[in-house]
Amino acid sequence: MSQYEFLAPCHFGLESVLKKEVMDLGYEIKQVEDGRVIFSGDETAFARANIFLRTTERILLKVGKFKAESFDELFEKTKDLPWENYIPKDGKFWVAKATSIKSKVFSPSDIQSIMKKAIVERLKQVYKLDWFPEDGEEYPIRVTFMKDEITIGIDTSGESLHKRGYRKLASKAPITETLAAALIMLTPWREDRILLDPFCGSGTIPIEAAMLGANIAPGINRSFLAENWSLAPKKVWYQAIEEANDVRKKDVQMTIQGYDLDGDIIKAARQNAALAEVDGYIHFQQRPLSELSHSKKYGFIITNPPYGERLEEREALPALYKEIGRVYANLDSWSMFLITSYEDAVKYIGRKEDKNRKIYNGMIKTYFYQFMGPRPPKKNIVLPGEE
Protein backbone atom coordinates (compact mmCIF):
# COMPACT_ATOMS: atom_id res chain seq x y z
CA MET A 1 0.00 0.00 0.00
CA SER A 2 1.39 3.40 -1.01
CA GLN A 3 2.50 5.92 1.61
CA TYR A 4 1.71 9.62 1.34
CA GLU A 5 2.48 12.76 3.30
CA PHE A 6 -0.35 15.01 4.41
CA LEU A 7 -0.51 18.58 5.68
CA ALA A 8 -3.13 19.41 8.30
CA PRO A 9 -3.46 23.16 9.07
CA CYS A 10 -4.89 24.37 12.37
CA HIS A 11 -5.22 27.51 14.50
CA PHE A 12 -1.86 28.82 15.73
CA GLY A 13 -1.44 27.56 19.29
CA LEU A 14 -3.39 24.34 18.82
CA GLU A 15 -0.76 22.22 17.09
CA SER A 16 -0.35 19.89 20.09
CA VAL A 17 -4.08 19.07 20.11
CA LEU A 18 -4.06 18.18 16.41
CA LYS A 19 -0.82 16.20 16.78
CA LYS A 20 -2.43 14.01 19.45
CA GLU A 21 -5.49 13.49 17.26
CA VAL A 22 -3.35 12.34 14.33
CA MET A 23 -1.34 10.00 16.55
CA ASP A 24 -4.54 8.56 18.02
CA LEU A 25 -5.60 7.68 14.47
CA GLY A 26 -2.39 5.70 14.14
CA TYR A 27 -0.49 7.85 11.64
CA GLU A 28 3.14 8.92 11.94
CA ILE A 29 3.96 12.55 12.72
CA LYS A 30 6.68 13.82 10.39
CA GLN A 31 6.84 17.42 11.57
CA VAL A 32 4.96 19.97 13.66
CA GLU A 33 5.20 23.58 12.48
CA ASP A 34 3.42 26.80 13.40
CA GLY A 35 -0.19 26.31 12.34
CA ARG A 36 0.11 22.83 10.84
CA VAL A 37 0.98 19.20 11.42
CA ILE A 38 2.63 17.05 8.75
CA PHE A 39 2.04 13.31 8.91
CA SER A 40 2.37 10.21 6.77
CA GLY A 41 -0.23 7.56 6.09
CA ASP A 42 -1.47 5.07 3.53
CA GLU A 43 -4.55 5.47 1.32
CA THR A 44 -6.86 5.06 4.33
CA ALA A 45 -5.67 8.45 5.60
CA PHE A 46 -7.49 10.26 2.79
CA ALA A 47 -10.78 9.17 4.33
CA ARG A 48 -10.02 8.68 8.01
CA ALA A 49 -8.23 12.02 8.47
CA ASN A 50 -11.09 13.90 6.82
CA ILE A 51 -13.84 12.06 8.67
CA PHE A 52 -12.31 11.77 12.17
CA LEU A 53 -10.07 14.80 12.81
CA ARG A 54 -11.90 17.51 14.78
CA THR A 55 -9.32 20.30 14.95
CA THR A 56 -7.88 20.72 11.44
CA GLU A 57 -9.29 23.00 8.75
CA ARG A 58 -8.54 20.67 5.85
CA ILE A 59 -6.32 17.78 4.74
CA LEU A 60 -3.79 18.53 2.02
CA LEU A 61 -1.92 15.85 0.09
CA LYS A 62 1.69 17.04 0.12
CA VAL A 63 3.23 17.21 -3.36
CA GLY A 64 6.54 18.89 -2.61
CA LYS A 65 8.62 21.45 -0.77
CA PHE A 66 11.53 23.47 -2.12
CA LYS A 67 13.29 26.84 -1.99
CA ALA A 68 12.64 29.42 -4.71
CA GLU A 69 13.91 33.01 -4.78
CA SER A 70 12.67 33.95 -8.26
CA PHE A 71 9.73 33.22 -10.55
CA ASP A 72 12.03 31.34 -12.94
CA GLU A 73 13.16 29.08 -10.11
CA LEU A 74 9.54 28.61 -9.03
CA PHE A 75 8.56 27.57 -12.57
CA GLU A 76 11.38 25.05 -13.04
CA LYS A 77 11.10 23.44 -9.62
CA THR A 78 7.31 23.19 -9.86
CA LYS A 79 7.69 21.55 -13.27
CA ASP A 80 10.14 19.01 -11.80
CA LEU A 81 7.54 17.63 -9.37
CA PRO A 82 5.78 14.35 -10.32
CA TRP A 83 2.31 15.86 -10.88
CA GLU A 84 1.25 12.85 -12.95
CA ASN A 85 1.31 10.78 -9.74
CA TYR A 86 -1.61 12.85 -8.47
CA ILE A 87 -3.51 14.47 -11.35
CA PRO A 88 -5.02 12.31 -14.12
CA LYS A 89 -5.36 13.36 -17.78
CA ASP A 90 -8.87 14.75 -17.30
CA GLY A 91 -8.25 16.27 -13.86
CA LYS A 92 -9.33 19.86 -13.24
CA PHE A 93 -6.44 21.59 -11.49
CA TRP A 94 -5.62 25.15 -10.47
CA VAL A 95 -3.71 26.96 -7.74
CA ALA A 96 -6.66 27.85 -5.52
CA LYS A 97 -4.70 29.74 -2.89
CA ALA A 98 -1.18 31.12 -2.55
CA THR A 99 0.25 32.91 0.46
CA SER A 100 3.71 34.44 0.80
CA ILE A 101 5.35 35.54 4.04
CA LYS A 102 8.84 37.06 4.26
CA SER A 103 9.73 35.76 0.77
CA LYS A 104 11.25 37.28 -2.36
CA VAL A 105 8.47 35.72 -4.43
CA PHE A 106 5.48 37.50 -2.96
CA SER A 107 2.70 38.16 -5.51
CA PRO A 108 -0.07 35.54 -4.94
CA SER A 109 -1.62 36.06 -8.40
CA ASP A 110 1.75 35.65 -10.16
CA ILE A 111 2.56 32.57 -8.08
CA GLN A 112 -0.77 31.04 -9.09
CA SER A 113 -0.32 31.80 -12.79
CA ILE A 114 3.29 30.62 -13.05
CA MET A 115 2.69 27.40 -11.15
CA LYS A 116 -0.33 26.54 -13.31
CA LYS A 117 1.80 26.98 -16.45
CA ALA A 118 4.57 24.82 -14.97
CA ILE A 119 2.17 22.01 -14.09
CA VAL A 120 0.63 22.13 -17.57
CA GLU A 121 4.09 21.88 -19.15
CA ARG A 122 4.95 18.88 -16.98
CA LEU A 123 1.72 17.05 -17.77
CA LYS A 124 1.99 17.85 -21.49
CA GLN A 125 5.32 16.00 -21.61
CA VAL A 126 4.11 13.04 -19.56
CA TYR A 127 0.66 12.55 -21.13
CA LYS A 128 1.73 13.59 -24.67
CA LEU A 129 -1.13 16.06 -24.86
CA ASP A 130 -1.24 19.66 -26.09
CA TRP A 131 -4.57 20.45 -24.43
CA PHE A 132 -6.30 19.21 -21.28
CA PRO A 133 -10.09 18.94 -21.09
CA GLU A 134 -10.12 19.41 -17.29
CA ASP A 135 -13.62 17.93 -17.10
CA GLY A 136 -12.83 15.28 -14.49
CA GLU A 137 -12.42 15.42 -10.70
CA GLU A 138 -11.12 18.58 -9.05
CA TYR A 139 -7.58 18.95 -7.68
CA PRO A 140 -7.28 22.43 -6.12
CA ILE A 141 -3.69 23.23 -5.17
CA ARG A 142 -2.69 25.32 -2.14
CA VAL A 143 0.78 26.76 -1.67
CA THR A 144 2.54 28.59 1.13
CA PHE A 145 5.79 30.54 0.81
CA MET A 146 7.64 31.10 4.09
CA LYS A 147 11.09 32.69 4.01
CA ASP A 148 11.57 31.65 0.36
CA GLU A 149 10.57 28.04 1.01
CA ILE A 150 7.38 26.84 -0.66
CA THR A 151 5.18 23.97 0.50
CA ILE A 152 2.70 22.57 -2.01
CA GLY A 153 -0.38 20.48 -1.30
CA ILE A 154 -3.54 19.33 -3.07
CA ASP A 155 -6.76 19.88 -1.13
CA THR A 156 -8.53 16.59 -0.41
CA SER A 157 -11.33 18.12 1.66
CA GLY A 158 -13.13 20.70 -0.44
CA GLU A 159 -15.14 22.88 1.91
CA SER A 160 -13.28 23.62 5.13
CA LEU A 161 -13.61 20.83 7.69
CA HIS A 162 -15.14 23.21 10.24
CA LYS A 163 -18.27 22.94 8.10
CA ARG A 164 -19.61 19.77 9.66
CA GLY A 165 -22.99 20.28 8.04
CA TYR A 166 -25.05 20.98 11.15
CA ARG A 167 -24.70 24.75 11.55
CA LYS A 168 -27.35 26.13 9.23
CA LEU A 169 -28.01 29.09 11.52
CA ALA A 170 -25.27 31.05 13.27
CA SER A 171 -25.01 33.88 15.79
CA LYS A 172 -23.34 37.22 15.00
CA ALA A 173 -19.79 36.21 15.96
CA PRO A 174 -19.70 32.41 16.02
CA ILE A 175 -16.71 30.37 17.05
CA THR A 176 -15.68 27.80 14.42
CA GLU A 177 -16.45 24.16 15.04
CA THR A 178 -12.76 23.19 14.80
CA LEU A 179 -11.73 25.80 17.37
CA ALA A 180 -14.59 24.86 19.70
CA ALA A 181 -13.59 21.20 19.56
CA ALA A 182 -9.94 22.05 20.26
CA LEU A 183 -10.83 24.19 23.28
CA ILE A 184 -12.89 21.38 24.80
CA MET A 185 -10.06 18.92 24.16
CA LEU A 186 -7.66 21.22 26.03
CA THR A 187 -9.75 20.79 29.18
CA PRO A 188 -10.14 17.74 31.45
CA TRP A 189 -13.89 17.60 30.64
CA ARG A 190 -15.32 14.15 30.00
CA GLU A 191 -18.86 13.09 29.18
CA ASP A 192 -19.64 12.13 32.78
CA ARG A 193 -19.10 15.73 33.98
CA ILE A 194 -21.50 18.69 33.65
CA LEU A 195 -20.68 21.22 30.92
CA LEU A 196 -22.27 24.66 30.71
CA ASP A 197 -21.82 27.45 28.16
CA PRO A 198 -23.48 30.71 29.33
CA PHE A 199 -22.75 32.45 25.99
CA CYS A 200 -23.67 29.56 23.72
CA GLY A 201 -24.88 31.53 20.69
CA SER A 202 -25.85 29.07 17.98
CA GLY A 203 -24.65 26.19 20.14
CA THR A 204 -21.24 25.34 18.73
CA ILE A 205 -19.40 24.55 22.00
CA PRO A 206 -22.23 22.42 23.49
CA ILE A 207 -22.73 20.61 20.17
CA GLU A 208 -19.03 19.88 19.71
CA ALA A 209 -18.86 18.65 23.31
CA ALA A 210 -21.81 16.33 22.74
CA MET A 211 -20.24 14.98 19.55
CA LEU A 212 -16.98 14.43 21.41
CA GLY A 213 -18.72 12.75 24.36
CA ALA A 214 -20.70 10.43 22.09
CA ASN A 215 -17.62 9.88 19.88
CA ILE A 216 -19.48 11.04 16.76
CA ALA A 217 -17.02 11.56 13.90
CA PRO A 218 -17.22 15.23 12.83
CA GLY A 219 -17.13 14.45 9.09
CA ILE A 220 -19.63 11.59 9.04
CA ASN A 221 -22.44 13.62 7.43
CA ARG A 222 -20.57 15.49 4.70
CA SER A 223 -18.69 14.83 1.48
CA PHE A 224 -15.07 15.44 0.44
CA LEU A 225 -13.25 16.23 -2.80
CA ALA A 226 -11.04 13.16 -2.69
CA GLU A 227 -13.95 10.70 -2.52
CA ASN A 228 -13.79 10.17 -6.29
CA TRP A 229 -10.02 10.27 -6.73
CA SER A 230 -8.29 7.12 -7.91
CA LEU A 231 -5.68 7.67 -5.18
CA ALA A 232 -8.34 7.04 -2.53
CA PRO A 233 -10.49 4.05 -3.59
CA LYS A 234 -14.16 3.96 -2.65
CA LYS A 235 -13.53 1.11 -0.24
CA VAL A 236 -11.46 3.30 2.13
CA TRP A 237 -14.36 5.75 2.44
CA TYR A 238 -16.88 2.96 3.10
CA GLN A 239 -14.54 1.43 5.68
CA ALA A 240 -14.04 4.79 7.43
CA ILE A 241 -17.80 5.39 7.65
CA GLU A 242 -18.29 1.88 8.99
CA GLU A 243 -15.57 2.50 11.57
CA ALA A 244 -17.21 5.80 12.58
CA ASN A 245 -20.55 4.05 13.11
CA ASP A 246 -18.90 1.26 15.11
CA VAL A 247 -17.11 3.57 17.56
CA ARG A 248 -20.06 5.87 18.19
CA LYS A 249 -21.35 5.58 21.77
CA LYS A 250 -25.07 4.86 21.61
CA ASP A 251 -25.93 4.72 25.32
CA VAL A 252 -23.87 7.62 26.72
CA GLN A 253 -25.50 9.95 29.29
CA MET A 254 -24.44 13.63 29.32
CA THR A 255 -25.46 16.84 31.07
CA ILE A 256 -24.66 19.70 28.70
CA GLN A 257 -26.35 23.09 28.92
CA GLY A 258 -26.26 26.19 26.75
CA TYR A 259 -27.62 29.60 27.75
CA ASP A 260 -28.00 32.82 25.77
CA LEU A 261 -29.93 36.08 26.14
CA ASP A 262 -31.29 35.90 22.59
CA GLY A 263 -34.36 33.69 22.30
CA ASP A 264 -34.12 33.44 18.50
CA ILE A 265 -30.52 32.28 18.63
CA ILE A 266 -31.46 29.65 21.22
CA LYS A 267 -34.04 28.32 18.74
CA ALA A 268 -31.28 28.20 16.12
CA ALA A 269 -29.02 26.32 18.54
CA ARG A 270 -31.72 23.70 19.09
CA GLN A 271 -32.11 23.24 15.34
CA ASN A 272 -28.35 22.93 14.87
CA ALA A 273 -28.15 20.32 17.66
CA ALA A 274 -30.95 18.32 16.01
CA LEU A 275 -29.07 18.38 12.68
CA ALA A 276 -25.95 17.15 14.49
CA GLU A 277 -28.04 14.36 16.09
CA VAL A 278 -27.06 15.45 19.61
CA ASP A 279 -30.19 17.35 20.69
CA GLY A 280 -30.96 14.63 23.22
CA TYR A 281 -27.77 15.43 25.12
CA ILE A 282 -28.13 19.25 25.37
CA HIS A 283 -30.53 21.55 27.19
CA PHE A 284 -30.66 25.04 25.63
CA GLN A 285 -32.33 27.87 27.51
CA GLN A 286 -32.82 31.63 27.14
CA ARG A 287 -31.21 32.91 30.31
CA PRO A 288 -29.05 35.92 31.29
CA LEU A 289 -25.59 35.50 32.79
CA SER A 290 -26.80 37.00 36.08
CA GLU A 291 -29.03 33.96 36.67
CA LEU A 292 -26.25 31.42 36.18
CA SER A 293 -26.20 28.94 39.03
CA HIS A 294 -26.12 25.18 39.49
CA SER A 295 -26.99 22.83 42.32
CA LYS A 296 -24.43 20.19 41.33
CA LYS A 297 -20.70 20.31 41.95
CA TYR A 298 -17.54 19.81 39.90
CA GLY A 299 -18.94 21.09 36.62
CA PHE A 300 -17.23 22.90 33.75
CA ILE A 301 -17.90 26.25 32.16
CA ILE A 302 -16.42 26.35 28.65
CA THR A 303 -17.36 29.50 26.81
CA ASN A 304 -16.61 32.18 24.23
CA PRO A 305 -17.87 35.48 25.72
CA PRO A 306 -18.07 38.67 23.62
CA TYR A 307 -14.68 40.06 22.56
CA GLY A 308 -15.83 43.66 22.16
CA GLU A 309 -14.23 44.20 18.76
CA ARG A 310 -16.38 47.31 18.19
CA LEU A 311 -15.79 50.36 20.41
CA GLU A 312 -19.32 50.56 21.81
CA GLU A 313 -19.21 46.86 22.74
CA ARG A 314 -15.75 47.24 24.30
CA GLU A 315 -17.04 49.82 26.74
CA ALA A 316 -19.39 47.21 28.20
CA LEU A 317 -16.68 44.59 28.76
CA PRO A 318 -15.52 45.56 32.29
CA ALA A 319 -19.05 45.12 33.67
CA LEU A 320 -19.52 41.88 31.71
CA TYR A 321 -16.31 40.28 32.99
CA LYS A 322 -17.02 41.43 36.55
CA GLU A 323 -20.35 39.60 36.26
CA ILE A 324 -18.57 36.49 34.92
CA GLY A 325 -16.29 36.61 37.99
CA ARG A 326 -19.25 37.05 40.34
CA VAL A 327 -21.28 34.09 39.06
CA TYR A 328 -18.19 31.89 38.85
CA ALA A 329 -17.30 32.68 42.47
CA ASN A 330 -20.64 31.15 43.49
CA LEU A 331 -19.74 27.89 41.71
CA ASP A 332 -16.94 27.15 44.15
CA SER A 333 -16.13 23.61 42.97
CA TRP A 334 -16.38 24.31 39.24
CA SER A 335 -13.69 24.84 36.61
CA MET A 336 -13.97 27.61 34.02
CA PHE A 337 -12.36 27.91 30.62
CA LEU A 338 -12.96 30.95 28.45
CA ILE A 339 -11.47 32.30 25.24
CA THR A 340 -11.28 36.05 24.69
CA SER A 341 -9.18 38.73 23.04
CA TYR A 342 -9.95 41.10 25.93
CA GLU A 343 -6.60 41.61 27.67
CA ASP A 344 -8.13 42.87 30.93
CA ALA A 345 -10.46 39.89 31.32
CA VAL A 346 -8.68 38.43 34.36
CA LYS A 347 -8.47 41.83 36.05
CA TYR A 348 -12.25 42.14 36.05
CA ILE A 349 -12.97 38.46 36.71
CA GLY A 350 -11.07 39.02 39.93
CA ARG A 351 -9.14 35.77 40.05
CA LYS A 352 -5.74 34.82 38.67
CA GLU A 353 -5.98 32.13 36.02
CA ASP A 354 -4.23 28.79 36.58
CA LYS A 355 -3.21 28.57 32.94
CA ASN A 356 -3.28 30.88 29.93
CA ARG A 357 -2.79 29.73 26.37
CA LYS A 358 -2.38 32.11 23.40
CA ILE A 359 -4.40 31.05 20.36
CA TYR A 360 -4.84 32.93 17.11
CA ASN A 361 -8.47 32.97 16.00
CA GLY A 362 -7.86 34.05 12.44
CA MET A 363 -5.80 37.22 12.80
CA ILE A 364 -7.07 37.93 16.31
CA LYS A 365 -4.78 37.04 19.21
CA THR A 366 -6.90 35.44 21.91
CA TYR A 367 -6.26 34.07 25.37
CA PHE A 368 -7.66 30.77 26.59
CA TYR A 369 -7.92 31.34 30.33
CA GLN A 370 -8.17 28.23 32.49
CA PHE A 371 -9.46 28.40 36.06
CA MET A 372 -9.22 25.00 37.71
CA GLY A 373 -11.64 23.82 40.36
CA PRO A 374 -10.97 20.91 42.74
CA ARG A 375 -11.09 17.37 41.49
CA PRO A 376 -14.19 15.42 42.48
CA PRO A 377 -13.65 12.72 45.11
CA LYS A 378 -12.96 9.27 43.76
CA LYS A 379 -15.98 7.03 43.73
CA ASN A 380 -15.79 4.06 46.06
CA ILE A 381 -15.56 0.85 44.09
CA VAL A 382 -17.63 -1.95 45.61
CA LEU A 383 -16.08 -5.34 44.98
CA PRO A 384 -18.22 -8.46 44.49
CA GLY A 385 -19.21 -9.91 47.86
CA GLU A 386 -18.78 -6.57 49.70
CA GLU A 387 -22.30 -5.25 49.08
Instruction: Enumerate domains of the chain plus CATH numbers.
Output: 4-155 (3.30.2130.30), 177-217+226-371 (3.40.50.150)
Q: How far is CA 96 from the centre of its chain?
A: 20
The residue among 221, 222, 156, 207 whose CA lies nearest residue 177 is 207
Cα separation of 119 and 140, whole Å? 12
- Residues with Cβ within 8 Å of 387's Cβ and at least 6 positions away in sequence, in order, are none
The pLDDT tens digits along the chain (387 residues) read: 799 999 999 999 999 999 999 999 999 999 999 999 999 999 999 999 999 999 999 999 999 999 999 999 999 999 999 999 999 999 999 999 999 999 999 999 999 999 999 999 999 999 999 999 999 999 999 999 999 999 999 999 999 999 999 988 776 667 999 999 999 999 999 999 999 999 999 999 999 999 999 999 999 999 999 999 999 999 999 999 999 999 999 999 999 999 999 999 999 999 999 999 999 999 999 999 999 999 999 999 999 998 766 656 788 999 999 999 999 999 989 999 999 999 999 999 999 999 999 999 888 899 999 999 999 988 765 555 554
Cβ atoms of 323 and 292 within 8 Å: the answer is: no
Element (H, E) at 98: strand 92-101
Buried b (16+ CB within 10 A) or exposed e, 305-336: bbbbeeeeeeeebeebbebbbebbeebeebbb
- Give me the pLDDT at residue 314, please: 82
Q: What angle do CA 261, 264, 268 make, to 5 degrees?
A: 110
Cα dihedral value 83, 85, 87, 88, nearest 10: 130
Give just the sign of the alpha carbon dihedral 135, 139, 143, 149. negative
Largest CA distance in the chain: 82
Cα separation of 321 and 289, whole Å? 10
- Give me the pLDDT at residue 384, please: 54
Mapped onto helix, strand or coil, the DSSP state of residue 1 is coil
- Give me the pLDDT at residue 234, please: 97
Element (H, E) at 269: helix 263-275
- Give me the pLDDT at residue 172, please: 66
- Give me the pLDDT at residue 310, please: 64
Cα separation of 217 and 71, whole Å? 42
**What does 323-385 look like in DSSP terms, one character per residue?**
HHHHHHHT-TT-EEEEEES-TTHHHHHTS--SEEEEEEETTEEEEEEEE--PPPPPPPPPPTT
Q: Which long-range contacts (CB under 8 A, 24 or more apart) does 249-254 make?
A: 249/191, 249/213, 249/214, 249/215, 252/191, 252/213, 252/214, 252/281, 253/191, 253/192, 254/191, 254/192, 254/195, 254/209, 254/210, 254/213, 254/214, 254/281, 254/282
Q: Which amino acid is at 89?
A: K
The residue among 365, 322, 362 whose CA lies nearest residue 343 is 365
- Give me the pLDDT at residue 312, please: 62
- Give me the pLDDT at residue 130, please: 93
- Residues with Cβ within 8 Å of 168's Cβ and at least 6 positions away in sequence, in order, are 268, 271, 272, 275
Question: What is the value of pTM for the model shown?
Answer: 0.94
3-state secondary structure 195-263: EEECCCCCCHHHHHHHHHHCCCCCCCCCCCHHHHCCCCCHHHHHHHHHHHHHHCCCCCCCCEEEEECCH
